[in-house]
A and B are shown apart, each in its own frame.
Chain A
Amino acid sequence: MNASLLNLEIWVIALGLVLMLADFWMPAERKRFLGYAAAAALAVLLVLNLGHCATGTAFDGMFVQDGLAVFFKRFFIVAAILVLFMAVEFSDRIISGISEYYSLIVFALAGMLFAASANNFAMLFVSIELITVTFYVLTSFQRGRLVSLEAGVKYLILGALSSAFMVYGIALVWGTTGQLNFNELALVAGQFAGNKIFLLGMVLVLVGLGFKIAAFPFQIWAPDVYQGAPTPTTAFLAIGSKAAGFVLLLRVLFTAIPGVSAHWANPLIIISGITILYGNLCAIPQRNLKRLLGYSSIAHAGYLLLGVAALSASGQAAVLYYLSGYLFTVLGAFTVICLVMRHLENEDISALAGLHQRSPLLATTLTLAMVSLAGIPPLAGFFGKFLLLKAVIAQAQVTTNHGYYCLAFTALAGVVMSLYYYGGVIRAIYWSQDAPADWSPILLSGPAKVTLVIYIAGMFWIGLFPNTMLNLATEAVQALKL
């Protein structure tokens, strides 16, 4: 028993409890500043965690602390810190219970940390549920807004459905193989490669994970929930929940059943391709910025699946790299939405008109975020897409599976489509025809300015100096078998 490996998780949960308790003693007008305290505490944890991390397993191999887990844990903590800053800016729109909002973010973070270390189907299910259940609440936190409640209910129903699929799949896998632990399952999975019940079980587990990452055909919830949820929740959903889905997907495919998933190239290629096309095509007519980003996040799930479908170490490293660039990009975009559309009922793109004069910093951040999402140099998105495409084309040449070439060209078509709607956002900022409703400058608080600069710096840093992040990602995926 090696409980010291769980230090980080224990501290994060303790932080969440402290935040809830602090609610009792904190005067109401100062509660919003708890967010800064929580972010600072997480930052301390992150710094303490940056040194050498003990590796090993705990709870009979249920919990694993390896390079991949450490990479994703740092990733999730950074995401949570930035989301907490965003939540403080958003706090004026949450009528009551802002400290609960913060503590729920921290609890969701704990779920993500466990997901990063999950090495057992039971652990996988528990961590996913911890994430999803907190998100049900986070999504419907603006109780006064109908759309927020609607989003929460939709997420609840579809989330429960996918959890049911997943737990059913886990039961089938356990029933056929008698194993829940990924490492032990890997030893016997080869014998069951032809067992239809086992395969059905695995497919159902992947359905559950597909729901988390919003891959086709489990993406229906994403646009509605993205649009309706409070903006910080949407941001955390877009980056944290998606990344948690991907780390679990990587673990299941490449630790639990590497022998079986090696034959799944074609299904993965097809899902990835359709996800890219669906996300991009549906994003084109959108006028609501959050909804647009919802569809764009589906498209990005498709791009990330390129790296998974490549079934190679370089593909997995590319997924990690892409996610780290995506972190700064998508959080930057949502922070701008959070700050600009403060008093608006719906986040229509036309509200961006005149932004370049109202606040050049916000305009620059959103422009750079769109450019990076579109995958244009010198920002993070470009090198990420470059790595993903490289992994896919390399696999095409190694396996002579022409599906990979088709996938590369699908991704290319997706990028071109996405330029249209990302370009539309940039156009709205700089040269839109609609006269803006008000020309008043947008005042930014100090912390908000700092986070915006962090996003810009992050996008440039990952795009211009990819060496560090790429090495980290390459080391991290050595934990995976394939």
Chain B
Amino acid sequence: MSILTYILGWPLLAAIVLVVVPRNYRVIIRAVALLTTFISMLLAVKMFCQFVAGQAGYQFEQQIPWVESLGISYHVGVDGLNVGLILMGAVVAFAAACCSFEIQSREKEFYILLLVMTGGILGAFASLDLFFFYFLHELALVPTFIMIGVWGRGERKNYATFQITLYLSVGALITLIGLIALYLQSGANTFDIPKLTEYVQAHPLAAHAQNFIFPLLLFGFGILVSLWPFHTWAPLGYASAPSPTAMLHAGVLKKFGLYGLIRIALPLMPQAAQHWMQILAWLCLGNILFVGWVAMRQRNLNLLIGNSSVAHMGFIFLGIASLNLIGVTGAVLIMIAHGFLAALAFGLSGYIYRQTGTLEMDELGGLARKLPFIGTVLLMAALAGCGLPGFANFVGEVTVFFGAWKAFPLVTGLAVWGALMIGALYMLRAMRNVLHGPLPEKWSGIPDVSNVWRKLPYALLLASLLVFGCFPRLLTEKITPDAGKIVEMATESAGGLVAGDASSRERESAPSKQSDSQRRLTSAATEPK
């Protein structure tokens, strides 16, 4: 049994066990959830430490046939792209389980759903089988809807539940059609991602098929990641969700679409990728500038964090669109960094909401005096969101800008402006409103986080941000070799088909040089195909 099976299996197993635990054993239910997510996290840390950077193929693999006639198997494994994501997912899941103290009603159902969601997310990232990749993501998505509906907050809870359900289902189903079409078109008769990739490299997909399937995946995944202009579900959905759900969804589940783009869409459909990345680069400006601008106007802290999380997706898309090693590496870095950050921000806002019953920034103020711990962590999260050096986000954003500069100078220029100006503006203004200024009388009695246990999730997430911010090498040395392979596949065969499109050919020369040097660096990782 691979360690990955345990990482995703413990939460799912615990969910099944909790079904038979009577509902008034609250302490036991909570303990089981905390313990299993903690074990998952420990195992994920262990796996991350044991991972050998730059080794060819996948590590910690396990494969069990599931439906032989269709070529579906339970296949898990990690390479540089998903090892960090799984670590991040497991840490966020534990933090979310810690923050679930705020749930006071129907705890049993909540923890079952939380554990199913955790297992589903971690499984989706670990999966090397297209079918399970999709299946486990959907498995994680369903609890989100129910959690928002039952434990959500605010007057527009019902509307938010149905909006997020329908919107995300559209995205997921478009993706499903794209994935099925991809499976059938490849002719490999397997859902196994490594085999499929190998097969497609030997028999590239026809251009018209690529041009049909790629947009399905791009927009299907795009909806799931809140790509502008399909982002409107995100802020309201997160604002209405209970904070553990928002932490897991915004932090981890949303990265599924990005991971799918990098893992599946780019290497399998290189020609279409070349073409569509031009468009994606401009769309991601919508995320960065437009949604950033929307975020500036928010009066509700959660809506602001939700919008800022959508805006951050723009940087990741920009990194992917640049289609070169530096850009894609940066994109994966931000995916991990933003996972910690979003979870931290939603966890903190959840704490404030629980104490004050509101997140309207006009009603809040001066909270830093009453909540020294929460206030400090929130300020640091805000600074991380602005991209301050020392936090993992800075590393990712800078890398993305370096990578994207080669491909899209104009877009990058605008995006940098958005990142530096707009991000700082709304984040700092929100901090001033919430943490500083006069303290309204009614909040004079609110308590700060009382004990170490309650501080743990926030401290853990903040520590992760700082660790990876100060030692980005921990991630980059793992990501780069495999990102290099993806970029190589996504750019190698493009020359013939986009002939006549001079700009894109120019663009592709830079990354291929890049990957040449990469090949020399990690000779073990790349055999000529």
Q: Which bracket fits the contact residues of A?
A: 20 to 34
Instruction: Report if A431 contacts B (CB, 8 A).
Output: yes
Instruction: Across the interface, name the chain A residue whose C-beta is closest to B149.
Output: A431
B66 at the interface (CB under 8 A from A): yes
Given known pairs A397-B181, A412-B174, the reply for A376 and B150 (CB within 8 Å) is: no
Residues in A whose Cβ lies below 8 Å from that of B42: none
Residues in B with CB closer than 8 Å to A409 are 177
A440-482 CB contacts (< 8 Å) to partner B: 466-467, 470-471, 474
| Max count, chain A CB within 10 A of own CB: residue among B69, B169, B183 | B169
Which of A237-245, A263-271, A415-423 lies at the interface with chain B?
A: A415-423
Q: Interface majority SS on B: helix, strand, loop or mixed?
A: helix
B146 within 8 A of A: yes
User: Do A378 and B184 touch (CB < 8 A)?
Assistant: no
Q: Is A390 an interface residue (CB 8 A)?
A: yes
Distance of B260 from chain A, by nearest CB (Å): 16
Question: Chain A's nearest CB lies how many Å from the CB of B398?
Answer: 39
B69 near A471 with CB under 8 A, answer yes
Tell me the total A-B contact number using a CB cutoff of 8 A: 76
A2 to B96, CA, bound (A): 67
Q: What interface size band does chain B fall in? A: 20 to 34
Distance of A474 Cα from B180 Cα, bound (Å): 19
Instruction: Please measure, in the bound complex, the distance between the C-alpha atom of A21 and the C-alpha atom of B106, giving whole angstroms.
Output: 51
Whether, in the assembled complex, A408 has its beta carbon less than 8 Å from a beta carbon of chain B, the answer is yes
Q: How far is the CA of A382 from the CA of B141 in the complex (A)?
A: 14
The 8 A CB mask of A399-422 against B (1 = contact, 0 = none) is 000000000110010011001100
CB within 8 Å for A371 and B184 given contacts A378-B135, A415-B173, A470-B69: no
Closest A residue by C-beta to B212: A405
Instruction: Enumerate chain B residues within 8 angstroms of A397, measured Cβ to Cβ.
Output: 181, 184-185, 209
CA distance A230 to B67 in the complex (A): 39
* B-chain residues with CB within 8 Å of residue A471 when the two chains form the complex: 69
Contact assessment for A393 and B173 in the assembled complex, using a CB-CB cutoff below 8 Å: no
Known: A386-B180, A419-B169. A427 touches B158 (CB 8 A): yes
Query: Using Cβ atoms and an 8 Å threshold, which residues of chain B touch A382?
Result: 135, 138
Whether a CB of chain B sits under 8 angstroms from the CB of A352 is no
Residue pair B177, A378 in contact (C-beta under 8 Å): no
Q: Taking A415-B173, A426-B146, A427-B149 as contacts, is the C-beta distance between A467 and B66 under 8 angstroms? A: yes
Residues from chain B with Cβ under 8 Å of A470 in the complex: 67, 69-70
The docked-state distance in angstroms from the alpha carbon of A467 to that of B139 is: 19
In the complex, which residues of chain B have a beta carbon less than 8 angstroms from the beta carbon of A431? 149-150
Instruction: Judge whether B115 is part of the interface by a CB distance below 8 angstroms.
Output: no
**Closest CB in chain B relative to A354 CB, distance in Å:** 13
Q: In the complex, which residue of chain A has the Cβ closest to the Cβ of B132?
A: A377
The answer to whether B173 and A430 touch across the interface, beta carbons within 8 angstroms, is no
Residues from chain B with a CB closer than 8 A to the CB of A415 are: 169, 173
When C-beta atoms are compared, the residue in chain A nearest to B167 turns out to be A416
A390 touches B165 (CB 8 A): no
Q: Would you give the shortest CB distance from A92 to chain B, in whole angstroms?
A: 31
Asked if residues A430 and B146 are in contact (CB atoms below 8 Å), the reply is yes
Cβ of A426: which chain B residues have Cβ within 8 Å of it? 146, 149
Instruction: Let me know if A46 is at the binding interface, CB within 8 A.
Output: no
Q: Name which residue of chain B comes closest to A468, CB basis.
A: B67
Q: Is the CB of B166 within 8 A of A371?
A: no
Question: Contact string, B62-88, partner A, CB cutoff 8 A, digits 1/0?
Answer: 000011111000000000000000000
A470 to B67, CA, bound (A): 8
For residue B142, CB closer than 8 A to chain A, the reply is: yes
Instruction: Check B177 against A408 for contact (C-beta < 8 Å).
Output: yes
Q: Is B176 an interface residue (CB 8 A)?
A: yes
Indicate if A185 sits at the interface (CB-CB under 8 A).
Answer: no
Whether the Cβ atoms of B169 and A416 lie closer than 8 Å is yes
Select which of A376, A394, A420 is within 8 A of B184 by beta carbon: A394
Asked if B184 contacts A390 (CB within 8 A), the reply is: yes
Contact B68 A467 (CB under 8 A): yes
B interface with A by C-beta (< 8 Å)? 66-70, 106, 131, 135-136, 138-139, 142, 145-146, 149-150, 158, 161-162, 165-166, 169-170, 173-174, 176-177, 180-181, 183-185, 209
Interface of A with B (CB < 8 Å)? 356, 371, 376-378, 382, 386, 389-390, 393-394, 397, 408-409, 412, 415-416, 419-420, 423, 426-427, 430-431, 466-467, 470-471, 474
Pairs A–B under 8 Å by Cβ, sample size 17: A377-B139, A377-B142, A386-B131, A386-B180, A390-B180, A393-B180, A394-B184, A397-B184, A408-B177, A409-B177, A412-B174, A412-B177, A415-B173, A419-B166, A420-B162, A430-B149, A474-B69
Task: Taking A394-B184, A430-B149, A467-B66 as given, write out 17 further A-B residue pairs in contact, using a Cβ cutoff of 8 Å, ordered by the A residue number.
Answer: A371-B142, A377-B136, A377-B142, A382-B135, A386-B180, A389-B176, A409-B177, A412-B170, A415-B169, A415-B173, A416-B169, A420-B162, A420-B166, A423-B162, A426-B149, A466-B67, A470-B69
**Nearest 5 Cβ contacts at the A-B interface:** A377-B138, A412-B173, A377-B135, A394-B184, A390-B180
